[in-house]
Amino acid sequence: MGVAETLDPSVLEPVSCYCCSSSNREPFLTAEEDLTGKPGRFHFVRCVECGLAYQHPRINVEEIKAYYDDEYIAHRKKRDWGALRPVVDYLMDRLDTHKERMVRPYLKRFATSEILDVGCGAGTFLNKMRLVHGARVTGVDFKDFAGAAGFEHIEFHCGLFYEQELGEKRFDFVTMWHFLEHDYDPLRTLERARQVMKEDAHLIVEVPRLDSVTFRLYRDRWPGLQAPQHTALYDKKRLLQLMERGGFDCIAYLPYGAFPAYFYLFAGAAFKLLKGKGLDLKKWGYVYVLGQILATPLLLFEKKLNLAMQTVVCRKRTPHV
């Protein structure tokens, strides 16, 4: 059953390659919304010209909002986790700590730094940077978090990033933690990032890595597909290519990210077992924690194994005189 048989065709739209704008494409794979079990089968294609894998057709930008409801993992309320809430709080703080450690070597001004997080979600990373470094923090997200706890300390903008009035050459650091794979116009996003960044600023981008061990293991049940929210799938070559076309020089490429690769190992196996029925995270949470303990020896080598994630640290390209 195709996507058009399970969704109103009027919510679907064709899309050209996000990197080179070509409409010359070939089938790649079909995915389901494995995390929540929402209906639909979503098709990914590969650009014949540049090799980028992307979703086509896609749900239009207004209708996709329904897939970022309270069931979406990054938007779940703390009370939704029940007895697992202390564990989830610990894991989220550890994630933000890993992000802070990745950013720290590139921060120059610390207490006077202005940091922008695109796709900021619940804002916990920004509050980590504010508390640890005294940084001034700004967040942008598709979902309105203005009244959420902790946002009294964050300058928050709701909507599409490239439509926000944020000032020019303002920020010392821009972060995109698992944002670019959701983006409907990544080159426009990168151009907006260039505009709001100071000349010596840094951009850090973390996305799932298509040419990874977990993709080879799980293929159409790979958690990095996360259809229909993920619009594009980046391997190393295509991510670096996109950053270059967006006007950035990559100063560091990391075959890992702050986000734990273990989640992809666990979720991919669960998706294979459940076959699109959705993953009840409260029910499976205890299995997840036990599995993480058992997998600790493997995860000690995560940074060398290319398990699931990739990260680039970039600077704005200086025009040649």
Tokens 């979703």 map to which residue? 55
- What is the value of pTM for the model shown? 0.92
Q: What is the CA radius of gyration of the chain?
A: 19
The model's pLDDT over 241-250, given as tens digits with 9 standing for 90+, comes to: 999 999 999 9
- Whether 12 and 42 have beta carbons less than 8 Å apart is answered as no
Contacts of 55 (CB under 8 A, 6+ apart): 15, 42, 43, 44, 45, 227, 228, 230, 231, 232
- The candidate with the shortest Cα–Cα distance to 256, out of 240, 272, 276, 236, is 236
In the chain, the DSSP E strands lie at: 12-13, 25-32, 41-47, 53-55, 58-59, 114-118, 136-141, 155-158, 171-177, 197-208, 232-233, 248-254, 309-316
The residue length of the chain stands at 321
118 occurs within a structural domain? yes
Query: Which residues are CB-neighbours of 193 under 8 A, at least 6 positions away?
Result: 118, 174, 176, 203, 246
Instruction: Give the DSSP H or E segment for 80.
Output: none
pLDDT digits (tens, 9 = 90+) for 115-162: 999 999 999 999 999 999 999 999 999 999 988 888 999 999 999 999
Query: What distance separates the 2 farthest-apart alpha carbons in the chain?
Result: 60
Residue 213: inside a domain: yes
Return d(Cα 219, Cα 54) in angstroms, integer.
15
Which residues, in sequence order, are CB contacts of 211 under 8 Å at separation 6+? 235, 236, 237, 306
pLDDT value at residue 6? 61
Q: Are strands 114-118 and 136-141 parallel, antiparallel or unpaired?
A: parallel
pLDDT digits (tens, 9 = 90+) for 37-93: 888 899 999 999 999 999 999 999 999 988 887 655 555 555 555 666 777 788 889
In-domain check, residue 289? yes
Q: E strand or H helix at 1, and its extent?
A: none
3-state secondary structure of 270: helix
Q: How confident is the model at residue 1 (pLDDT cuts 50, 70, 90)?
A: very low
Do the domain assignments include residue 16? no
Q: What is the pLDDT of residue 304?
A: 83
Q: What CATH number should be reported for the domain holding residue 142?
A: 3.40.50.150
Tally of domains in the chain: 1
Residue type at position 201: A
Query: Which tokens is 224 given?
Result: 């990095």
Quote the domain boundaries for residue 189. 81-217+234-316
Amino acid (1-letter code) at residue 293: I
- Residue 154 inside a domain? The answer is yes
> Does residue 31 belong to any structural domain of this protein?
no
Structure tokens at 180: 């670019």
Domain annotation covers residue 13: no
Query: Quick one: tokens of 236?
Result: 């190393």
In a domain, 159, yes or no: yes
Among 70-84, 100-114, 128-142, 212-226, the minimum mean pLDDT is found in 70-84
